[in-house]
Amino acid sequence: ALLGEPRYLSMAPDALRIDLDDALTSIQVKNYARAQCDKNAQLKSCAVLCVVCCFAGACRLEAAPPFEIRADGTRITQFKKSLTIFAGFSNVESIDTNSIEFKNAVARALQDAAKKHEKNSEAIYATDTMTPRLSCSPISDQDLTLILKKAGCYDNFLPYINPVKAEPFNFPFENSLSPDTTALLVIDLQRDFTDAGGYMAAMGYDVTPLAKPLSTVAKVLSACRAKKIRIIHTRQGYRPDLADCPSHTRQRFISLCGIDIGTTTGPLGKVLIRDQPGWQLNDSVRPFATESIVDKTACDAFLFTDLELILRTWGITNLIFCGNTLDVCVHSTLRHASDLGFQNLLLQDCCGAVSPSLHNAMIESVQVESGIFGTVANADDFITALDRVC
């Protein structure tokens, strides 16, 4: 509600419907809200929405069932009208409430109101005419936290500020879970790692645990696509001429594994070589045309690639990790991301390792020291959080 998004209407256990039909003063609105809270202790969580509608100065509050969005869209429309007045726009009907200008104007007005409230506890209910402010930054996490605490319902909103149930801390730790700042990294789900006849099979490993996460990753991909979360896939492989394959790497494979990269050929072609069948991503997690693919030669997907540039260009701060193998390329990339300042969430049931003990050890290593590299969740908890807040 604070940022003008319909989904925030269902944040509190008892959401509020906001209309402009009746011309109530801000004092009347405040008294009405307090009376409702006195009558029903459950409505105490609605305080922050009461504050928002008090900004508008001409609105009516009506208790509404949580998570209800009416078919005709009235609830959304009337709420945004209230925010439109609050942000200082005079033409309520024509303003595009999905535009960045509208959201920035609301954010700026909220910041101003928070500063007023710091000086005078009653100033937050002021109804002075506000002029449009279009060139400003979105509301910061600190300002949002301040307003929620002032409204007395920070604890109720906490699951929506860092909504993903994870260990050792819920995700994200600071900023919100938003399509604007979140990206899913799908690491190396190639046939060389998931299929019989590929690289890992040639190394003598059972690829069953590496193929197991595919169906779960497919569910996560579907959920992220539905919520417009950015998705990046990575592929591990060398150039056909081996110009990017260190000599000692090739010799080690020959000596210890009997595999000559660039020469050894199996059912999926030459192992770890670009454009071979084994290098292709598994069909069950095939990228959409709009999704980015980063090709790499190192275990760390940031090394010698443009991955960081892409993420910075998009304004990404939160990274969701899945893929193969957890102990090598996923872990290497996640640790580098942590050093680069990204907030990391590892989906443990979306990552494969050749043995359960190795898988468990890698999960534990992320969680040590209060989540030094990030935090860990299951796919279902992540998808549930997406459905709730995005």
| Helix, strand counts (H, E) of the chain | 15, 10
CA dihedral over 128, 133, 138, 142, signed as positive or negative: negative
Name the strands in the sheet holding 292-296, side by side, starting at the edge strand that comes first in the sequence.
292-296, 230-236, 182-187, 318-324, 343-352, 375-377
Alpha helix positions (H), the chain? 26-39, 47-56, 74-87, 100-119, 141-150, 154-161, 191-194, 199-202, 208-211, 214-226, 247-257, 307-314, 331-339, 356-371, 379-389
- Listed residue (131, 317, 174, 301) closest to 232, CA to CA: 301
Residue that the structure tokens 């030459």 belong to: 270
Strand 269-270 vs strand 265-266: parallel, antiparallel, or unpaired? antiparallel
Side chain identity, residue 308: E
Alpha helix positions (H), 70-140? 74-87, 100-119
Residue that the structure tokens 């990228």 belong to: 287
How crowded is the C-beta side of 102, counted as CA atoms within 13 Å? 21
> How does DSSP assign 97-110, residue by residue?
TTSHHHHHHHHHHH
d(CA 205, CA 210): 10
Tokens describing residue 335: 């640790």
- Catalogue the active-site residues: 188, 296, 329
